[in-house]
Chain A
């Protein structure tokens, strides 16, 4: 029996989306909760997961507009006796590169195998030129590699094939093609250092999500007047508080006490003071928000996603930590809903988890502000004319200068700094 995969209710006021890409091929095996497709609205991209394991049958094509409730695919029970699909997800675009690494049950040929079955001419070409077929962009039916794909790849690498199909074999007596017997193609010659070769480059088509991220970021650069202001925070007090309450907090609330709750609270209070950073430009109006819906950038396998902690201004430390943990888990599982991805009014981005010391965050349009956290590093600083070693963090706020003045952005960041260096201020909201 087949289970239908339908377009879920995506968000308030959103009834249609575009089926951007299939993450699993038609006829491919899927596991429970494994993402199978990416849908995109004008707000965000969401992944749709399979509710059951089995064989995926696509019902719609990429590029099509789908509505809430539409069946986009069916999952049929896998033939008995065959092992379940490996639940591990491929990376970026689930292309052959990743899939090739997945263990395939022995015996019966698998659909996933199809991508790796090369046509005879392609097989000859990759052997002759020592290419990795997984690294060549495929345009054929069902993601297959065509001879022309390999030829184009070779041409781009500056090593074009001499003639169509002539290979390294001398042409025999020809019938119609006899007029111009082409010279035999040179055998794969050593890569010339001047031109990029297959060893130097790896050409992979951008995934839809990557393209979309690129598009958004470029749009942000073009429309907003982005400026960034920096500061640094002495994290001693936060670290000390955290160490002191870590265990009791976790026991009581069932979630770890991290830095995010401190930063969230500090931002919420800062935004109350500088509402422009929580506002957006709509046409010729400035729209101020009564609440803070805080986007929290999370790096998931498929790229950065920014789920939103809704009404962050009304949440306490434990609620914030719990919500962030929930969203992060869903981000990693790829099961965020559109509602959870849209409607942010300000963003918190933690580059520190990757070890960044300092960076300029980029706005998420139409938002007007984003705060970038970085790694905490012990540095010598001057306190009361004494050199002391303190756990320091650089912070940066990027803002849309069209509605936020430099002074406001600097003030906001100073307020955040003050509250984190002296967390009791948050208690009394001063």
Chain B
């Protein structure tokens, strides 16, 4: 039987893969997308961005109802129905993953279920529920994403010692939760369970939370989280863990000293590794770096001609929107269009409350590059809308070149920082100056006024402080 021939076979249906497939369909390429799981959407839709945000929003409502509603003059008896909360989350995931199926139909993308293996350039073998089949492809796009990494000596058991996927569906609220890793995933899931009642300790090997993001902003987020009851242990790591009965005994080592923490659940969120198991990449000789990421050129082509890669499986931040943009750029380049990803303007968000959103250079990065910078900062406590909402935490920090006034970076800790950062990402994308943002009219009273004031503050002209 003749094998089906495609212009493009995408392996993986995460935000990188499915968006690339949609764009390819839109451009008229005969496209197939292979996904090993029955549902589409990859890590992000199934066990990442979406379910975590669903739980963050639900748990935030719960925390609000318990701790802040009264201040708004709302009195109610509040209790938690964890099963209902989980069901709602699963519903959101189901709706969105089905949505991707619908989008595939619309763009005429062929959905193939099974584990894909590249056997030769232009040839993909799929081991699926209906047996094995081969696909012929003019081009192959690898978007196989990433998987959580374990700590040496600490094996996941899926119940007591877990990674992010399990932590999104714990059957009950752990009394004590220890999180290893104060990155975005650790802080977000730590927040979820803290709000629902867990005593949460976060262990971080560095001396601060979200290492790599703007330090002053990170410190202000840490203070806010500490007020909510999260406990942080810095300069330490978990070196061993054993389950005894219903409890986990975690050995926490800091330098020479070790200590034991006892908890009900240990969440290891120390990072993710590129996932290429069973893909045949090594056998094919696709070049990888020392961290197992597929190496690509500016067209996202790997060392094997005709095989491309994007998303978590290549270099760069592991973010859904980064994977999406790369998917689009890769496909557009294949189609002879000028595809491009602007890596300097990729926003990065930690969805705690307050949220922490960044784009561009951090203060440390700007200084390390020897740039002269002017910083404008404006606290939400001085923003009318934030006060009306009852929000007092955080601030907007804008970094601009001291000479040209061009915005180099922006770091927001505060309510809806995830939404506020979009304005500054656009500003950086267009090479805007702080003055440009300061002179644009912002509606009153809104949170974005804090962005405008921070932009004014770059020139020492903030008005409302």
CB of A165 within 8 A of CB of B458, answer yes
Assuming A121-B439, A164-B403, A165-B405, is B434 touching A173 (CB within 8 A)? no
Asked if A417 is at the interface (CB within 8 A of a chain B CB), the reply is: no
CB of A59 within 8 A of CB of B337, answer yes
In the complex, what distance in Å separates the CA atom of A172 from the CA atom of B453?
12
CB of A174 within 8 A of CB of B461, answer yes
Asked if B169 is at the interface (CB within 8 A of a chain A CB), the reply is: no
Asked if B74 is at the interface (CB within 8 A of a chain A CB), the reply is: no
Asked if B93 is at the interface (CB within 8 A of a chain A CB), the reply is: no
Among the listed stretches B64-72, B171-179, B370-378, which one makes contact with chain A, having 4 or more residues with CB under 8 Å of it? B370-378
Asked if B37 is at the interface (CB within 8 A of a chain A CB), the reply is: no
Asked if B462 is at the interface (CB within 8 A of a chain A CB), the reply is: yes
CB of B377 within 8 A of CB of A175, answer yes
Interface residues in B333-368 by Cβ distance below 8 A to A read: 336-338
Interface residues in B370-404 by Cβ distance below 8 A to A read: 374-379, 400-404
- By beta carbon, the residue of chain A nearest B406 is A148
CB of A124 within 8 A of CB of B439, answer yes
Asked if B431 is at the interface (CB within 8 A of a chain A CB), the reply is: yes
Residues from chain A with Cβ under 8 Å of B405 in the complex: 121, 147-148, 151, 164-165
Residues from chain A with Cβ under 8 Å of B404 in the complex: 146-148, 151, 164
Asked if B435 is at the interface (CB within 8 A of a chain A CB), the reply is: yes
CB of A177 within 8 A of CB of B337, answer no
In the complex, what distance in Å separates the CA atom of A226 from the CA atom of B400?
53
CB of A70 within 8 A of CB of B336, answer yes
Please encode chain A, from 105 to 145, with 1 for each CB lying within 8 Å of some chain B CB and 0 for all others.
Answer: 00000000000000111111000000000000001110010
Assuming A151-B404, A164-B400, A178-B460, is B430 touching A173 (CB within 8 A)? no
- By beta carbon, the residue of chain A nearest B342 is A141
CB of A120 within 8 A of CB of B431, answer no
Residues from chain A with Cβ under 8 Å of B378 in the complex: 175
Asked if A239 is at the interface (CB within 8 A of a chain B CB), the reply is: no
Asked if B241 is at the interface (CB within 8 A of a chain A CB), the reply is: no
Asked if A58 is at the interface (CB within 8 A of a chain B CB), the reply is: yes
In the complex, what distance in Å separates the CA atom of A140 from the CA atom of B407?
13
In the complex, what distance in Å separates the CA atom of A248 from the CA atom of B406?
69
In the complex, what distance in Å separates the CA atom of A52 from the CA atom of B376?
51
Asked if A166 is at the interface (CB within 8 A of a chain B CB), the reply is: yes
In the complex, what distance in Å separates the CA atom of A61 from the CA atom of B333?
11
Number of interface residues of A (CB under 8 A): 37
Q: Kindly provide the distance from the CB of B160 to the nearest chain A CB, expressed in whole angstroms.
A: 46
Asked if B60 is at the interface (CB within 8 A of a chain A CB), the reply is: no
Pick the most buried of A61, A71, A174, A178: most chain B CB atoms within 10 A of its CB: A174
Residues from chain A with Cβ under 8 Å of B435 in the complex: 120-121, 124, 147, 164-165, 167
CB of A174 within 8 A of CB of B336, answer no
CB of B434 within 8 A of CB of A165, answer yes
Assuming A61-B338, A146-B406, A175-B377, is B436 touching A181 (CB within 8 A)? no
Interface residues in B423-465 by Cβ distance below 8 A to A read: 429-436, 438-440, 456-463, 465
- By beta carbon, the residue of chain B nearest A178 is B460
In the complex, what distance in Å separates the CA atom of A217 from the CA atom of B368?
44
CB of B377 within 8 A of CB of A176, answer yes
Asked if A60 is at the interface (CB within 8 A of a chain B CB), the reply is: yes
* A120 interface neighbour in B379, B440, B465, Cβ under 8 Å: B440
Assuming A166-B461, A172-B461, A175-B465, is B434 touching A60 (CB within 8 A)? no
In the complex, what distance in Å separates the CA atom of A332 from the CA atom of B411?
54
Q: Kindly provide the distance from the CB of A128 to the nearest chain B CB, expressed in whole angstroms.
A: 12
Residues from chain A with Cβ under 8 Å of B463 in the complex: 172
Asked if A325 is at the interface (CB within 8 A of a chain B CB), the reply is: no
- By beta carbon, the residue of chain A nearest B427 is A119
In the complex, what distance in Å separates the CA atom of A171 from the CA atom of B439?
15
CB of B462 within 8 A of CB of A144, answer no
- Contact sample, A vs B, 19 pairs, CB 8 Å cutoff: A59-B337, A60-B337, A119-B432, A121-B436, A139-B431, A147-B405, A147-B406, A147-B435, A148-B404, A151-B404, A172-B461, A172-B463, A174-B457, A174-B460, A175-B457, A176-B376, A176-B457, A177-B375, A177-B376
User: Could you tell me which B residues sit within 8 Å of A by CB distance?
Assistant: 336-338, 374-379, 400-406, 429-436, 438-440, 456-463, 465
User: Could you tell me which A residues sit within 8 Å of B by CB distance?
Assistant: 58-61, 64, 70-71, 119-124, 139-141, 144, 146-148, 151, 163-167, 169, 171-178, 181-182
Q: A146-B404, A148-B406 are in contact. List 14 more A-B contacts (CB 8 A).
A: A61-B338, A121-B433, A146-B406, A147-B433, A148-B404, A148-B405, A164-B404, A166-B459, A167-B459, A175-B379, A176-B375, A176-B376, A177-B459, A177-B460
